[in-house]
Amino acid sequence: MKSDHGWVEVVCGCMFSGKTDELIRRLRRATIARQKVQVFKPTIDNRYAVEKVASHAGTDYAAIPVNSSAEILGKLETDTTVVGVDEAQFFDEGIVDIVEKMADKGIRVIVAGLDCDFRGEPFGCMPEFMAKAEKVDKLQAICMVCGEPATRTQRLVNGQPARYDDPVVIVGAAEMYEARCRHHHQVPRD
């Protein structure tokens, strides 16, 4: 049964902080509660499976890949009560309005994504989601250098930190990225 009151939840943090695992945990609980769940992800994220959201830890959940945020409303089923959006930072800026429309229609929308890019700067639509959401959970990982809490994503190129002017979007996993604390995060600008 669809509620009259939808809302937006955001799960964010750096890579390897457990964002997708937390999204999947919430989706599974909604499924157990017999709520109609649909999950959307950008087609650019094909690291583990095309029609699933999948975590680095190996959990997964069926998902619908879309090329743009506008496709979501067209694929949304009328009885859906919970929507998951993974890797939200990769969507076009229209995703914010789409999510707001779904919440206004009484849908619980759970958005997961990186809050910052490899440079440590706000990433895509995530800052706006964090400002507008009813609930925000910012997760931390473990720094691969010192073992302290990590909030940054370090991109590596041939084992060395990526340069500031490198492309912002390069989809990858442990072969290119690791979690770092503020102290050990490096982005050379030369």
Active site residues: 87
Q: Measuring CA to CA, how many Å separate 21 from each of 24, 55, 59, 84, 131? A: 5, 6, 7, 12, 23
Which candidate, 121, 124, 116, 63, places its Cα nearest to that of 96?
A: 124
Contact in structure between 135 and 167 (CB atoms under 8 Å) = no
Please name the helix (run of DSSP H) or strand (run of DSSP E) that holds residue 81, with its range, or none.
none
Residues forming a β-bridge with 138:
12
Q: Is 176 exposed, middle or buried (0-12, 13-18, 19+ CB in 10 A)?
A: middle
> Do strands 149-150 and 52-54 pair parallel, antiparallel, or not at all (unpaired)?
unpaired
